[in-house]
Structure 1
């Protein structure tokens, strides 16, 4: 096991890449999908179950954990890994995105952000320095810079102002992070959908120097076509020998399109959130298990899937427990969705290594276009 954070790029196919991120807590196979454990738990899942789906790394949320139970308490209890019983790598976001979404509860200055807790209204300050301190207390393996992310659409002046503030905060984050062997700090590229601002941001981050680079400020309402259009130029502006992380993405076809454009890491709440609302992602698209057509269907959600929900339970059962509001409904559908997302990642890693990504991608889209199996 390595004592350092390193990245090996093992194969490329067009812009798509596969490799391994080595960390003291284990290897992360890329492209990687990170399940989101917002409040030190992937909702409706045991940590062992998340690992069983094939996840190499989880995401934790700085904003939520600093408010409850607090980073200081987690540090006293041995750090986030021990606290939530997850011994593989953890990436923590900086808290910036959640704070920015509290537009009516926050005040933004050069120093940082003052905001009111959505839980009890208490007042807090988050700055680059405080974000680094919190993430150190949590003990996360990959730390994200503190940045500001404007909602799109926004005018060029607003995007430029926000991006340059984020770059100043990136330098302060780097300074505050210090020298922490075995832990990594990622910078976050901003600039909206503007090519010149994305380039300015990438150059600023590269000058500062980070262990990995994220593409931030996408999947915030701009639509898939605009996001892909931005990734067509933004990804390649970042250093080739470092991991590239697209934040907050996404649906299966978003993930495939991002990998096609050179992205190595992604995260999204979608598999778990959708599982709790009765949606199952399959090779044939999205199945709404709440629909009456499933009430008498003895077939599995996906006959080719090896997850417990598909191996051991029928659509009729999944329909029943969702309608009855039983907890097992969210548990089974979340397990299935996370398994499916990890299956996509594994298939893409294999396809890139074998130089057949284009063929795999066309098969992926063709099968989804067929739609769900016909009702009985």
Structure 2
């Protein structure tokens, strides 16, 4: 096995959803699949072995953060990301393009705001400093660690990601915000297209030069914000670039990421525009989602894999996912509650009671974040695994409706 490939299995009737297998040098990923985020070569507070034991099939790390610390040359010397972090399975790295927005202007990926009539290409989130400047050649960053200045170009991103050695890597792209004007979105899309050409060229060069490492699969990233014509154009452009590259003897794109700032209400529509343009044998990764309902939306609109920081991030603040809704374990009602976090889940954290976890958070013990993170990861992996099995069994919609009704009814009872 030299790179990744996708094999479709079942389709979800009446939707773009499907099940399949992504084959990589470090193992197969049964899709749809939730990919936990291990930003700095670690899923915060938990052992990689524990993440694997919960059933997670792959992890995603951040090229920008690993570039700053410890440096890609260290990860390369260790044998690549998986060997460095003692993770046995497939790995992904993003390109660093996310930092163009998150560090550049301080906005989050999913922006819950009404931007009608408020578009401003110079906007910066309130209380934030602009730490990145974009030009047609690349991006100049100011490190959030020490203020030092760095330069990312498509070639640099490819060089970093090849040193990191993930099975699936992403082309360098510009991530715009919903505050950007239509005119800026158009120019940004062309910039990302030009960067994709350079990424393919550098990826081909490095793949030839680094035959001592497993071959990596480069995936193009579709931008275009909330505009249907731009999303479809971006997808068709990347497909054509991949075809041209392969015809010239290159590797082309092994799959496609769906990126950009998305309003939650439009998530499924935008993903659907992209997957509608993609061939069946092209795997699709949705770069970042939020809550459980987003998972179902992503699956039904054709996403094969998706990452999300929410389960681990909220866990560190005491928010617990359960099949009867999300709740905050630090609330007083759980002080003497000796039931498990969720009796339906079979994972390491079910050995501990709500009362114990409540105590750990109140006492500010580090084990609190560890157990909560293990639990929330297990919940999310189980949710997606059950969805995958339901598609294959032909009862996906019954599973979805039952889950969502129970989950949000339970959450409502707790508020």
Cα deviation, residue 374, structure 1? 7.4
Which residue, 308, 311, 316 being the options, matches 1:271?
311
State the alpha-carbon separation in 1 of the partners of residues 59 and 326 from structure 2.
24
Q: Which residue in 2 is equivalent to 1:204? A: 237
Q: Which residue in 2 is equivalent to 1:12? A: 11
Q: Which residue in 2 is equivalent to 1:23? A: 24
**Mapped pair 1:345 → 2:384:** yes
Q: Mark the runs of 5 or more structure 2 residues left unpaired by the alignment.
A: 105-129, 208-213, 243-252
CA contact (8 A) 1:135 1:143 kept: yes
State the alpha-carbon separation in 1 of the partners of residues 94 and 413 from structure 2.
42
Q: Which residue in 2 is equivalent to 1:134? A: 160
CA contact (8 A) 2:37 2:309 kept: yes
Q: Which residue in 2 is equivalent to 1:87? A: 88
Q: Which residue in 1 is equivalent to 2:113? A: none
Q: Which residue in 1 is equivalent to 2:374? A: 335
CA contact (8 A) 2:58 2:91 kept: yes
SS at match of 2:288: coil
Cα deviation, residue 287, structure 1? 1.2
CA contact (8 A) 1:37 1:60 kept: yes
1:91-142 C-alpha deviation (Å, 9 max, x unpaired):
0000011233222122211110111111111111100000000000111110
State the alpha-carbon separation in 2 of the partners of residues 143 and 53 from structure 1.
24
CA contact (8 A) 1:151 1:217 kept: yes
CA 1:374–1:216: 2 relative to 1, 3 Å: closer
**Mapped pair 1:148 → 2:174:** yes
SS at match of 1:63: helix
1:173-231 C-alpha deviation (Å, 9 max, x unpaired):
11110063731010011111111101110111001121101111044xx2x21222322
**Mapped pair 1:359 → 2:398:** yes
CA contact (8 A) 1:160 1:197 kept: yes
State the alpha-carbon separation in 2 of the partners of residues 131 and 182 from structure 1.
16
Q: Let me know the Cα RMSD of the aligned residues.
A: 1.5
Cα deviation, residue 282, structure 1? 1.1
Cα deviation, residue 239, structure 1? 2.4
Q: TM-score, normalised by structure 2?
A: 0.86
CA contact (8 A) 1:23 1:182 kept: no
1:296-328 C-alpha deviation (Å, 9 max, x unpaired):
111111111112222x11111111101111111
Which residue, 94, 108, 111 being the options, matches 2:134?
108
Which residue, 216, 220, 227 being the options, matches 1:187?
220
State the alpha-carbon separation in 2 of the partners of residues 373 and 96 from structure 1.
37
CA 1:153–1:285: 2 relative to 1, 3 Å: farther
SS at match of 2:147: coil
Cα deviation, residue 369, structure 1? 2.8
Q: Which residue in 1 is equivalent to 2:333? A: 293
Q: Mark the runs of 5 or more structure 1 residues left unpaired by the alignment.
A: none
Cα deviation, residue 357, structure 1? 1.4
Aligned length: 370
* 1:168-187 → structure 2 map (5 Å cutoff): 168-178=194-204, 180=207, 182-187=215-220
Which residue, 310, 316, 322 being the options, matches 2:361?
322
Q: Which residue in 1 is equivalent to 2:279? A: 239
Q: Which residue in 2 is equivalent to 1:50? A: 51
Larger mean Cα displacement after TM superposition, 126-135 or 161-170: 161-170
1:330-357 C-alpha deviation (Å, 9 max, x unpaired):
0001000000111011111111111221
Larger mean Cα displacement after TM superposition, 41-50 or 67-76: 67-76
Cα deviation, residue 76, structure 1? 2.3
Q: Which residue in 2 is equivalent to 1:76? A: 77
Q: Which residue in 2 is equivalent to 1:125? A: 151
SS at match of 2:169: strand
CA contact (8 A) 2:4 2:168 kept: no
SS at match of 1:175: helix
State the alpha-carbon separation in 1 of the partners of residues 293 and 53 from structure 2.
23
CA contact (8 A) 1:206 1:239 kept: no
State the alpha-carbon separation in 1 of the partners of residues 412 and 132 from structure 2.
48
CA 1:148–1:254: 2 relative to 1, 3 Å: same
